[in-house]
Structure 1
Amino acid sequence: MAEAQSQSITNTLKPKLNIPASSVSISVKIIDASTISNVPAHALVTPMVPGYKTASPAPSYCFLLEHPSGQKVLFDLGIRKDWQNLAPAIVERFKKVGHQPSAEKNISEVLDDAGVGKENVNAVIWSHAHWDHIGDMSTFGPETELVVGPGFKDFFLGEGDGKNSALGSVQSSDVEGRTVREIQFQGVGIGKIGKFPAFDYFQDGSLYLLDTPGHCVAHLCALVRTTTNPDTFVFLGGDAAHHCGEVRPSAYVPMPEPILKTTAKTSVNQHDQLPACPGSWYEDLQISRDRDPKGPLWQPAFGHNMEEVMTTIQSMQEYDGDESVFVILAHDPSLRSSEVRFFPQEINDWKQRGLNQKLRWKWTEEILDTLNC
């Protein structure tokens, strides 16, 4: 399996992202400070893979972005350590479905302990306003701006349905006394990278916020330039997809032959029996579930607007197919690897260290284990 994961990918299509040139890069540090366990697979993805009943314990990553100017920005805050103080409807939902969130520290404490200082954070960007991404904004002072996507204020703070959402939990303490800046993706200065409208956050091409609707009202992704000459980037995916198997394989990133040729000992058609045939396990599994044999294993089981969810994933596949871009989903346990350097170290050398190739297909190990391959 290691050979398959490290093997270079030959893409059948080449994406055209047309990322503007820039001489400015940003330090990117992944903060892994929280975990969600015991989530039923059917609550996240569909159609089911027989035997795959509970998703692996998943992180909820946050990202410290440090600009050469000295400005510091956080992308997401993960889970607050006192999650019991989330909105009562959310805590009741945990009890009902068995979710087990955990976080020993708030992100503000992680920064303080590392000597960064929460008071030095200029802004927090929420990919979206679900409980496992917004942390506890009240632990940052009023000088820290909150940056959100289009439609956030009306839906979560106004007359929309956000206050009653079973997943959202924006509280008055998150927003009172601070600037809440809602990014708009229309008008002068708004470009397009790939198929996503893009807002140039620092106006120097180092950080783009991307309009990626579907999963939640006001959902944002980010494209961060990690090196120049050559240019490399990380794509911060938030919850545009929960699992890599919702994005891969694709026309841009086909599954490598060594994985496809793994021998399946059990399988999954309508009779729960799959012939032990090298090279056929993924195709047979997909066909048995009415899925594209060359397409992603799953699609998301829910979203605010499912048509937009699927369009966003299709557009994200173009980024995933660009070898200069490292796509990181907020809940991808594959990154919990000895290969990955977490905060306080940065991940800017991901391309040089071959992380994309080493980790891109790691998620298939769990599926193959489920199928007893």
Structure 2
Amino acid sequence: MAQQQANGTFKNAKGGRIDLNIPPSSISVSVKVIDVASVNNVPTNAIFTPPVKGVNVYSAPSFCFLIEHPSGRKVLFDLAIRKDWENLAPAITERFKKVGHEPVAEKNVSELLDDSGVGKESINAVIWSHAHWDHTGDMSTFPAHTDLVVGRGFKDHFLRGDGNSALGGILASDVEGREVREITFKEPEVVQIGHFPAYDYFKDGSVYLLDSPGHCVGHLCALVRTSTSPDTFVFMGGDAAHHCGEFRPSQYVPLPDTITLKRDNRHTPFCPGSWYDDIQISRHRDPKGPLWQPSFGHNMEEVMTTIGYMQECDGDDNVFVILAHDNALRSPNIPMFPDPINNWKSRGLGTELKWNWIGEILSTMETNGEKVQGV
């Protein structure tokens, strides 16, 4: 098992791809990426560390996902940001003013579903990756028959304890009159996928909820089967990391010799090696490890362990890792709701988007007056 240490190096890393031992199944589900919300003007030092000169502010989408099972059952993974975010708990809205966050939500996910003809009434359950404000949306806009599914420890921390904070929590309207189902990972449907305990949600191998603690109590990721023969999967990372530069490169996904940058409407090859070596060494980071690490979490040791487990999944060419705040997904080549993303593998999206974040970093540095050698 590879575990990332504080300086971005790895211990017990033997290199190469591991076998995730995903159980076989003949059932896949439809996955649709929903993009209705963003978080703008986030200071980068509030999210990841150590700083990169010239990269000071971060703006990103807040994605969620519609999962449709062949049986007709429908679940949502996350709800992004509620449209009336000013009605969040006062501690949260005060933090927006203090830190400078600028939430933007075009509409609630429930509205999008109604407008599209899917209908919020058809949703059997909402799965929260975790209880932070940019993921919980507005559960009160869903009918009482829509269950709320949460991760290990959620009820003790948020329902019976005082888990609410300036990062999130729950409102009474989120849970009143509906079933709150906590996945304890002691259920008989739990298997091991890679190093993650994985709950077989539909009991047919199509959707697994992954126990991925650290960022927040009860944090969940999901591994969703998008095709069979061959098997392909989307890994929904929630906030296991906020940025691809927190888990790439790794010993499973090394930095390539050449990447393609889009500049002035042209695609230009760029050799990132020497630039990345310099930027890592100047910040006492491993040139073969990620650019950043998260700067906060409920339990930082668990944060780093979860990232290590996610890197193992990222090393499988049949797994497409999508973070909730991944700017790379706002590419014109990415199908968004109401279109499914199931054919991501045949379209080459897993490969195409893996290193887009480097181009984003370079552009930001240049915009802020930093000279980037080789660009």
TM-score by length of 2: 0.90
1:282-301 alignment, distance < 5 Å: 282-301=276-295
Q: Secondary structure at the match of 2:356?
A: coil
Contiguous gaps of at least 5 residues in structure 2: 1-13, 261-270
- 1:348 alignment partner, SS class: coil
Work out whether residues 12 and 254 of structure 1, in 8 Å CA contact, stay in contact via their aligned partners in 2.
no
Contact (CA 8 Å) 1:31, 1:342: kept in 2 or not?
yes
Q: Does the 8 Å contact 1:60/1:133 carry over to 2? A: yes
Check conservation: 2:199, 2:208, Cα contact below 8 A: yes
Deviations 1:292-337 (A, max 9, x none): 1100000001000000000000010011110000000000011001
Q: 1:185 and 1:290 mapped to 2: Cα distance? A: 38
- Give the residue type in structure 1 aligned to 2:108: N
The 8 Å contact of residues 255 and 273 in structure 2, kept in 1 or not, is answered as: no
1:306 aligns with 2:308: no
CA distance, structure 1, for counterparts of residue 273 and residue 61 of structure 2 = 32
Q: What is the alpha-carbon distance in structure 1 between the residues aligned to residue 371 and residue 84 of structure 2?
A: 39
Cα distance in structure 2, aligned partners of 1:185 and 1:314? 20
Q: Show CA shifts across 1:88-144 (max 9, x none).
A: 010011011110001121000000000001000000000000000000000001000
The 1:151/1:313 distance shift into structure 2, 3 A limit, reads same
CA distance in 2, matches of 1:40, 1:278: 25
Q: Distance in 2 between matches of 1:372 and 1:321?
A: 32
- C-alpha change, 1:107 and 1:279, in structure 2 (3 Å) is closer
Whole-angstrom distance in 2 between the partners of 1:34 and 1:372: 32
1:223 corresponds to:
223
**Which residue in 2 is equivalent to 1:342?**
336
Match of 2:327 among 315, 333, 346: 333
Question: Once superposed, which parts of structure 1, at least 4 consecutive aligned residues long, lie more than 3 Å away?
Answer: none
Match of 1:23 among 17, 22, 26: 26
Match of residue 268 from structure 2: none
Q: Which amino acid aligns with 1:243?
A: H
Instruction: Give the structure 1 partner of residue 177 of structure 2.
Output: 177
For residue 22 of structure 2, what is the amino acid of its counterpart?
I
Quote the Cα distance in structure 2 between the aligned partners of 1:201 and 1:187.
Answer: 11
2:100 to 84, 98, 101: 98
Instruction: Indicate the residue corresponding to 2:249 in structure 1.
Output: 249
**What corresponds to 1:363 in structure 2?**
357
| Counterpart residue identity of residue 358, structure 1 | E
Partner amino acid for 2:153?
A: G
Deviations 1:262-289 (A, max 9, x none): xxxxxxxxxxxxxxx9842111111111
SS at 1:221 equivalent: strand
Q: Distance in 1 between matches of 2:245 and 2:169?
A: 27
Are 1:153 and 2:155 counterparts? yes
TM-score w.r.t. structure 1 length? 0.90
Is it true that 1:324 corresponds to 2:290 in the alignment? Answer: no
Query: Using the alignment, how far apart are the partners of 2:128 and 2:361 within structure 1?
Result: 31
Q: CA offset at residue 12 of structure 1?
A: 5.2
Q: Residues of 2 paired with 1:349 and 1:330: CA distance? A: 19
Whichever residue aligns with residue 218 of structure 1, its letter is: G
* Equivalences, count: 345
Worse overlay, 283-292 or 33-42: 283-292
Letter in 1 for 2:32: K
What is the CA RMSD across the aligned residues, in angstroms?
1.6
The structure carrying a bigger strand percent of its residues is: 2
Structure 2 CA distance for aligned equivalents of residues 85 and 186 of structure 1: 36
Shift of residue 372 of structure 1?
Answer: 3.3
Q: Distance in 1 between matches of 2:187 and 2:199?
A: 10
**Contiguous gaps of at least 5 residues in structure 1:** 1-10, 261-276
CA distance in 2, matches of 1:328, 1:259: 20
Q: Are the structure 2 counterparts of residues 354 and 39 from structure 1 closer, same or farther at C-alpha, using a change threshold of 3 Å?
A: same
Post-superposition offset of 1:169: 3.3
Q: Is the 8 A contact 1:86 1:169 kept in 2?
A: no
Mapped to 2, the partners of 1:220 and 1:372 lie a distance apart of 40
Question: In structure 2, how many angstroms separate the alpha carbons of the residues matched to 1:187 and 1:333?
Answer: 35
Following the alignment from structure 1 to structure 2, what is the Cα–Cα distance between the partners of residues 40 and 195? 32
User: How far apart are the structure 1 equivalents of 2:343 and 2:15?
Assistant: 26
> Structure 1 residue 258: deviation in Å?
1.4
